[in-house]
Amino acid sequence: MDIMERIKQAIESNSVILFMKGTPEFPQCGFSSRASQALAACGSEFAYVNVLADPEVRENLHRYANWPTFPQLYIKGELVGGCDIIMELYENGELQTLIDQAS
């Protein structure tokens, strides 16, 4: 399967998915750690892709949504943004709302 198709399928198959460096249990960068902690604090399960374990995704995800950095959060197929946006949404309560609406 083409890498862009794999990325699209992962996003469409999960209502909440975080492309991150590492895993929620063992994040490999501070930004991915903060983003996954904010999602976990919202009390909902979320899918994730460890871009360090899949170099093809790491090299091509920025082309998918024209977003250059990791982590990248998608909710209901739409790019929400990276760590700064995730943290801002978490702090003002909007992340919880978005996740609740996605369930």
pTM equals 0.96
Query: Residue-wise pLDDT tens for the chain (103 aa)?
Result: 799 999 999 999 999 999 999 999 999 999 999 999 999 999 989 999 999 999 999 999 999 989 999 999 999 999 999 999 999 999 999 999 999 999 8
Query: Where are the chain's structural domains?
Result: 3-102
Rounded Cα distance between 99 and 75, Å, is 7
Q: Residue for token digits 């399928």?
A: 9
Q: Known binder of ligand: residue 34?
A: no
CB 46 within 8 A of CB 61: no
Q: Known binder of ligand: residue 100?
A: no
Superfamily name with CATH number, domain 3-102: Glutaredoxin (3.40.30.10)
Q: Known binder of ligand: residue 70?
A: yes
3-state secondary structure of 74: strand
